[in-house]
Structure formats: structure tokens, C-alpha cells
Amino acid sequence: MFLSNLLKLNRKCRHDHVTPDKNCGYCPDCGKFIRNEWYITRCKCCGVKLKTIIKNGEILPQHRYCSNCGGESFCVEKVEQINFIDINFAVLIKRIVENNEIICSTTRCWQEKTYEPPKLTVQY
């Protein structure tokens, strides 16, 4: 029952035809201009790249602790140019670019727990 409700809510366009090989483009299904944004998480302690997932609209490392140093804090980095190594770690966010939107490409970093990261509005 829960699942069918969820599917109903997510019936908005997923922009599946905007392929990840392009940075951006118009979605042929809904006509919106879509920007592909890749994000990775990195351990704040040792700097190793962490496998990244999206959970409840937030970009998070898949595992709570770093497999390299055991650290718990991480930072989120926007990947400007995705490559075949990073693609294994990164998540793709298809963002609708509204008119006149200032595209911000700064790297956001935060300490887990001490600072509540801004909620990302993931739009499909």
C-alpha cells in the first residue's frame, strides 16, 4: 500500500531522456531545461572518496564510517567533469534549471552533526 502511494507521488517526469553524457539539455518529455549534476562525498579526515547515495533528498556516503580511517565526517563535492573513476562513487542529480537562475558551482563542505546541511531539493 505504501509503495503504490509512493509511486503516485513520484509520477512527475524523471527526465530519463536527458542522458548523463551531456551536462545539460532540454527534456523531451516535459520541455524543462535539465542540468546533470554529479556529486561525490569525501572523507573529511583522510580525503578518500566515498561511495555516495541519495537518501531522503540528501547526498550522503553509503556507509557511515570511512573504510580507510574510520572517520565519520564527510564533505560533499560537486563534480564538474565526471570521469569513469568518479562515476563509481558519484550520484547524478537531474536538476531543473529555471530562467535566470544563477548557477552556483562552489563546493559545499560541512561537518556531519555539528552543522545541518542544506536540504537539497531533488526534482525529477
State the residues that interact with Zn ion by CB under 5 A.
Answer: 13, 15, 27, 29-30, 43, 45-46, 66, 68-69, 71
Q: Name the CA radius of gyration of the chain, rounded.
A: 16
C-alpha 58, offset from chain centre:
7
| Smallest distance from Zn ion to CB 33, Å | 10
| Smallest distance from Zn ion to CB 62, Å | 14
Smaller CB distance to Zn ion: residue 68 or 83? 68
Please provide residue 8's backbone torsions phi and psi, each rounded to the nearest 5 degrees.
-65, -45
Smaller CB distance to Zn ion: residue 18 or 90? 18
Following CA atoms 73, 85, 22, 90 in sequence, which dihedral angle do they give, to the nearest 10 degrees?
-20
| Smallest distance from Zn ion to CB 61, Å | 10
Q: State the number of CA atoms in the 13 A half-sphere of 37 facing the CB.
A: 24
Smaller CB distance to Zn ion: residue 28 or 81? 28
Q: Which of 15, 1, 4, 9 is nearest to 96 (CA)?
A: 15
| Smallest distance from Zn ion to CB 82, Å | 20
Smaller CB distance to Zn ion: residue 29 or 80? 29
Q: Which of 65, 72, 59 is nearest to 120 (CA)?
A: 59
